[in-house]
Structures are given as C-alpha cells and as structure tokens.
Amino acid sequence: MVDWITSDGLTAYETAVTFMEERATAIAAGEADEAIWLLEHPPLYTAGTSAKPADLTDPDRFPVHTSKRGGQYTYHGPGQRVAYVMLDVGKRGHDVRQFVQQLEHWVIATLADFNVQGEIREGRVGVWVQRPDKPLTASGAVAEDKIAAIGIRLRKWVSFHGISINVEPDLSHFSGIVPCGITEHGVTSLVDLGLPVTMDDLDLALRRNFSRIFTDKS
C-alpha cells in the first residue's frame, strides 16, 4: 500500500523532516506503509549536502535549513507543490539511479498532462523547459528555465525528501540563492508559462502518473 497524504495550509520544514524520518524508519522496519506526502512550505531555503556557501546570496531573507538530501540550495514556498516520497527502494528494484530516473519521468509525465515538455539535462539536476520566448543565452542556445527540483536521501533503502514542482510561487524568492548552483539559467512555473493550473489539478496528475511510472502497490 502507498498512503497518499495531502496537507492544507503551510507545513513547517522541521515538522516535515521529523515526520519523514520517523516514517522512513517505520517503513524499513515493516511497521508502516509507503507514503507520498503532498504539501506546501512557508518561504525558506534548504541547503543540500553539496551546497556551497557562496550560493546563498541573501542569507537573511528567509530561514535557511540544512538538509540531509542530496543537491545544493533550493527554495520552497507557497505556490510550490512539494511531494515527499517515502518508498522502499530496496523492494522497488534496489537501484538508486533507476529510482531517480523514475522520479524524473514522473515529473515529466505529470507536466505533459498540461502540455509542458519537461526535459532532463546532463549535469543539471531537476526538470527544465525551453523558453524560446526569451533571448538566447550567451552561447546562442535557446534559454531554459527550471520548473521542478529533485533531491532525495535513502536510509536502509527507504527514500525520503523528494520533488518540488513550481505551480505559482513568487519567482522573485529564488533570487536569494543560486538555485542548485546554476547561474546561467532561470526558474519558471506553470502559471508563469501561461497555464492556469491549480494545486488540485497538479495533485490529480501526480497521482495518476505515479501508477504509470512506478510499480504502485496501493
């Protein structure tokens, strides 16, 4: 079984981390079902295990939380759907790379439901969209913006942390960090792309596509 949990309002980051760690421990012990937790956080920055201090350009803007997930600095806030993924990777193929690819494909399939073509880039974590409406980059390439972030941690082969998709966050809040250490590309959201997608719309698409990408035991 996979429990789907949706929280209204804004969930404190510390509350989320405590819940995830306790649930992951229980899943590993066979004492709880796997879970997907959909929520929003108040404005905050998180520093992953590869975060560089210089990439926190405005340290006093929002609370900064050190995170045990992989990756660098990310922003979370209202209008961004966070999906925390507590799954038994040991029983789902025992392959971390495959699991991350499944998370990527899950995001891409979900975005496709809204006619958004998400793409993966070598050396750039997350999911990206091309922006032909913007000026070309300095190298003459089509501009690209990040629309979703991915960062996980495994404990005894159970995952926690997960993905975040920008629905309608305040994109100016990303300016206090160098998102994921990448300076030459920007960030976007579904609403920024001109799509009137609601959080409920996205949640339905996430759940529908999860069962297509993963072996859903629920």
**Domain layout of the chain by residue ranges:** 3-213
187 near 158, Cβ under 8 Å?
no
Query: How confident is the model over 63-74, as pLDDT tens digits?
Result: 999 998 888 899
164 belongs to an annotated ligand binding site:
yes
CB atoms within 10 A of CB 197: 20
- Residue carrying structure tokens 């579904």: 190
* CATH code of the domain made up of 3-213: 3.30.930.10
Query: Active site includes 180?
Result: yes
Using a 10 angstrom Cβ sphere, with 0-12 exposed, 13-18 middle and 19 or more buried, the burial of residue 14 is exposed
**% of residues, the chain, pLDDT over 70:** 96
Asked if residue 72 belongs to a known ligand binding site, the reply is yes
Global pTM? Answer: 0.94
- 22's CB contacts (< 8 A; 6+ apart) are none
pLDDT at residue 218 in the model: 42
- Active-site residue, from 180, 182, 193, 197: 180
- The maximal CA–CA distance of the chain, rounded, in angstroms, is 54
φ, ψ at 201 (rounded to 5°): -60, -45
Whether 124 has a pLDDT exceeding 80, the answer reads yes
Please state, in angstroms and rounded to a whole number, the distance separating the CA atoms of residues 121 and 157.
26
**75 annotated as belonging to a binding site for a ligand:** yes
**Any binding-site annotation on 163?**
yes
pLDDT at residue 109 in the model: 98
Average pLDDT over residues 98-105: 95
- Annotated binding-site residue? 140: no
Tokens of 134: 């913007």
Query: Which ranges of the chain does DSSP label H, i.e. alpha helix?
Result: 13-28, 96-112, 199-213
